[in-house]
Structure 1
């Protein structure tokens, strides 16, 4: 009877953990992993390592499960580092494996060896290891899985020498590890009492709330307190229906503006987000005068730098459930009824087309359950104004600010949600970071519509330049992007596309693409 190998045990482990898809780009030091690849597994090919990690990130977020990634040694991991950083900021559970040269020749500094393999992905993984023996590889991967899934979730890294896969190993018994912790009851009781006595509370919701599945609890809490609900700065998920009467809009990543928008509230409850994420240096208080801050977050590191108030650490959904139960025991204070936001005036169909009209038209033609994966930072404020999201799990973007995530993440989301339409809403600058994702979408036959907002520039940088002293007439070097043709690019990889500059044609082009049940690209020229 043939001996059980490391490869046999690893695939048996992956099967037991419901990780039968491997997101990968092939390299020489990884080839033995895939010899006799099991028929019940799926190899998801990305044509560049950043694409591989982006696809796995989207899949893990949309499925709620950990995803397996396989990269080439040092060079491949280096190519992937931008999206590994994004996965770390996204709190995405990824088990990232990378090939390593054979143990016997590592002392000779061989070609394609990673001389400090465990250090390369740090500090943007939760744990990193190269097992001391081949027989330790399965146990290391089992441990990596549990660390990745423990809140706050995130990527982990395992370097595996090429000759380990054929070595003998013992089968692993399945183990279960609790990945959610309940917030301390006394702290929740104090928050409940403070909310009950507040006359004008505000909630600030972030991505961890949607990730924890606490959408319904957040609505119940806001309605019971009559609290205005803001979205945290740079939030990467939709955590509250943006058409709700209590929805108050989006907080910018600027201290003074946050304080201005929260003015008049006597209590600010931040659920599932930092308090607060800033993008530029600011000054002054973090809260308006007279306001008290409470925070519920699953990450003790985030809680540790909250500048004032009380931070409660634990699972967001469990915490909100306990908070609602406690609130039922407190008579509510007399509350000031928050005013409903004024509706946005509809954008006109002007030529050249505005980004506002493009977002408004997309909002008109998409169904509420369609999923949008966005990476158009220059158009994000416009999207927030004209393209509302009203369902849990309907919006994803990168929490890192790094480009090259959106297009491959849309592929991963579509793999995880095969019965929903996925829209990749991508800026023209962003689309050039990982367009290889179009190829993967075509080969997998996924119903993705890539909507490219083409304004011929890095608009986010031009818009942000005044914060660094640029005048209205100053040139921001390197931000003009003339001559890009995304329809031709898509067609070169087998994806049909159309370019739209006439506002009257946009709705029809989007409807046709969304109805195709196959990858399509719509390039929208905007001013």
Structure 2
């Protein structure tokens, strides 16, 4: 039997180093699934929801060393379910290729079943590049272009629509060699801007460096540590609203916490360098004030469109961050004396357990006690993330990852993708009870594949973020004490997890939690721990 274009697509993926395709398929994917029988080197990872497929690809891509990840979705209905995951991948600059099986062209033209016009327009706002294949003989080049665009910097998700009749057609195209389409290295920074930045940092009374996720993506965290030591500068992570992955060791004496206007290191700074970070990423209108008068703002980012877009910047840098940081250090004046050593920040510890429901800082403290350098934390607990970030050690680049997309359900699938990419690491997904209800289908994948992920669910029985927003709004809900849209209490999540085939337990005390975490760390498959916490804790 002759091979189809689907065989060619799989061969291209294998040539690019892709070994998994995360999919929730339908009938339009039949040609691809059928061809995969002849290509056992490709692992078709079945999921039961499109959000799980895309978030698994996102989590995998963040730790796959530049190899793109692939999700295969089903027509318009599957794409819509996966868009929240695409948005998270876009913000996380994860090289995710979303293949979208579409109905045959003749059905599309007649608006047949699941064939609305211009499906690609749904994805366009979340993709670096979107394209619907037009001819079978062009499929190979279309897929090669998608893989190249996803991985070339700054990386990010792309969308490629694949009509079923084209994928089923006889193979007729030869793909470009991957070596001719590999990632193009980012350029060098503007030397005049490097000189200006080095001069400003050298004379600063209290310089502050903000460690961004680009430094992890571009393997430049070690140079940030060296720059901080050479300058004697304090270092903070990005504001928690834009924080996406840990980029500076929290145990280092120069580490000062997370960027917030209330932090002493921020209030005292006269030069602030946002390095590889998003700068003043707004959550609500007017929520981020402009820098104080007299503060020099330096901003570097892999994407020039990110630089200075909210409050502007005095000095701007773009390009490869290893080059940026190396040249900044080389440009510091000869004989520069670093600022005096800072006292070590006080250790963050949980308060003694009160009589009553567990609080999130206690949960974070218990988890922190089990974290070592081979532990990866995927945080998707919305209002609990601040306490997690404050307590969890982050000594390895990317040890803690999260999303600022607001797409609930991201963390459960992403944790599975991280586990596939880093099979020797322990992965813990910290999720809220609200997020769980979006991401629960990931449990089926965890059980089916026996992925050793610990799901730690913080159950406060509420959409605490909604109640916190009403509290900030400060009107009738606060006056009456009634918060519409908050109460989601009721489900027995441990029982639901067990129903999926993931061993689970519900805990209500600190000792129970410590014991459950220890047991989960020794398990050879997934585990689920539901922690009942204070329903009145609405977070910061």
User: Would you call these one fold, judging by a TM-score over 0.5?
Assistant: yes
CA contact (8 A) 2:433 2:457 kept: yes
**Distance across 2 between alignment mates of 1:202 and 1:76:** 45
- State the Cα deviation string for residues 138-188 of structure 1 (Å, max 9, x = none): 101111111111222110001111011223322123113414332223322
**Distance across 2 between alignment mates of 1:440 and 1:381:** 29
* Residue ranges of structure 2 left out of the alignment (5+ in a row): 535-540
**Distance across 2 between alignment mates of 1:502 and 1:283:** 36
Higher mean C-alpha deviation, range 405-414 or range 106-115: 106-115
Q: Which residue of 2 aligns with 1:340?
A: 344
- Equivalent of residue 273 in structure 1, options 273, 277, 288: 277
Aligned residues: 521
Q: Which residue of 1 aligns with 2:257?
A: 249
Q: Which residue of 2 aligns with 1:185?
A: 191
**Distance across 2 between alignment mates of 1:515 and 1:195:** 47
- Equivalent of residue 130 in structure 2, options 128, 131, 134: 128
- State the Cα deviation string for residues 274-331 of structure 1 (Å, max 9, x = none): 221121232895212321011110011101515231221112233212223333x533
Distance 1:258 1:88, change over 3 A: farther
* Residue ranges of structure 1 left out of the alignment (5+ in a row): none
Classify the secondary structure of the residue corresponding to 1:202: strand
Spell out the pairing of 1:11-90 with structure 2 (5 A cutoff). Answer: 11-37=10-36, 38-64=39-65, 65-90=67-92
TM-score, normalised on structure 1?
Answer: 0.94
Distance 1:4 1:266, change over 3 A: same
**Distance across 2 between alignment mates of 1:97 and 1:371:** 28
Distance 1:386 1:284, change over 3 A: closer
CA contact (8 A) 2:230 2:338 kept: no
Higher mean C-alpha deviation, range 385-394 or range 14-23: 385-394
**Distance across 2 between alignment mates of 1:461 and 1:422:** 29
**Distance across 2 between alignment mates of 1:152 and 1:402:** 22
Distance 1:97 1:334, change over 3 A: closer
Higher mean C-alpha deviation, range 203-212 or range 68-77: 203-212
- Equivalent of residue 171 in structure 1, options 160, 164, 174: 174
**Distance across 1 between alignment mates of 2:248 and 2:10:** 39
Spell out the pairing of 1:451-490 with structure 2 (5 A cutoff). Answer: 451-470=456-475, 471=478, 473-490=480-497
Deviation at 1:511, TM superposition (A): 0.2
Q: Which residue of 2 aligns with 1:262?
A: 266
Classify the secondary structure of the residue corresponding to 1:456: coil
Distance 1:507 1:285, change over 3 A: closer
Q: Which residue of 1 aligns with 2:532?
A: 525
Coordinate RMSD, CA, aligned: 1.9
- State the Cα deviation string for residues 355-377 of structure 1 (Å, max 9, x = none): 11111011112323200101011
CA contact (8 A) 1:101 1:114 kept: no
Classify the secondary structure of the residue corresponding to 2:322: helix
Higher mean C-alpha deviation, range 258-267 or range 193-202: 258-267
